[in-house]
Structure 1
Amino acid sequence: MPNTLELEHLACQRGDNLLLADLNWRFQSGDFVQIEGKNGIGKTSLLRILTGLARPLHGKVRWNFTEISECREDYQYDLLYLGHLSGIKPELTAWENLKFYQQASHCWQGDDVFWQALQNVELLGREDIMASQLSAGQQKRIGLARLWLSKAPLWILDDPFNAIDKHGVKMLITHLEQHCQQGGIVILTSHQDVESTMLQKVRLDCYRTSGEIQ
């Protein structure tokens, strides 16, 4: 059955400032979407609302026609969110972090998939090094490796191409396209040009507002 993520009359705030208002969007299986807008417009704040990590000022987010606050467990099971932070455990190695993610997300695929995931993010040879001893960019890549393990249909990614080279960007875009071709949904932000014929771009500028919340 196709999946659907809906935003209805959504408004987003930061502190006392109203950033965005009256967002009415629908994303469905197969959609590959980049949310665009200048710095500070509210892209990350919006993604956090979509993941359930923050609440909108008003409006609703629905996953398969049910508000995400009412299906939180099922929604989190269907969601993979990669934010600005790497989202890894620094006391574990790269391999152990992927093992932990596999167990926590119930995506049993066998250990062989780890080698391919680590190769895809150029971490082969560093799989037994504690994450705390790796660079910030390498830690970010451990998080990205989860994209090759995840069976979640909805991927929400905040600037996923940061800290990877051009070859890695191309490989990641291909993987995101494949996820959408298989019925997944990808919603992302990026400071880089994303070259894909499948990509839809949504700009936040026309939803921008200003002033204090009354």
Structure 2
Amino acid sequence: MTNERLLELKKKNKKSRSKFVVKESKFSARVKSRWRFPRGKHSKVRQMHKGRPTLVSAGFRSPRAVRGLHSSGLEFATVNNVKELMTLNPEKQGALISKIGNKKKLDLLKLALEKKIAVLNVKNVADAIKKIEDSFSARKKLKEEKTKVKGKKEEDKKKRAEEKKKKEEGEKQSKEEKVTPSGDSLNKDQEEVKKQKKDVEKTIIKKQ
């Protein structure tokens, strides 16, 4: 049998294969959803009674030649960076991009598209690239808007501070004017004092 036929058989087997779990995992939260062989003396699962969960037995596995392969027939190869992606053989291996940031992921997807390497955990590489680029541009736009708003706020703050300063200076000046009399009023007072002195001197002279 060719690999294509084996892959079809694997696909068919996978559809008909039931999930092997411990019977009690469906009823008790303490029991994990995993497979353990039933060892009970009167276990209905071990005795393969009808209506009970399926017991693991021969015939459920995939053909040896295609075991552990992707449905496309490619081998899984985990990729973390550009260097690891470059070592892959596009005819036999498919990239499985690990959990990395969008910036690095974008570089890997672009390179995979350029080198025609299949990315097994991304349905459409071109769409994924577009989606990441759109998110980057939206984030950049939002950042620019935030900086604009921040700049405007700072300008308004400076304006308000200047206005407050001017107001305080004006109030201070008006207070000083009230406390200290003007030059004209001082001159008038001095003239009156001089006049009074003269009058006093005249009266003294007359008395003599």
Give the structure-2-normalised TM-score: 0.27
Bigger relative contact order, structure 1 or 2, given CA contacts below 8 A and separation 6+?
1
Is the helix fraction higher in 1 or 2? 2
Answer with 1 or 2: which has the greater Rg: 2
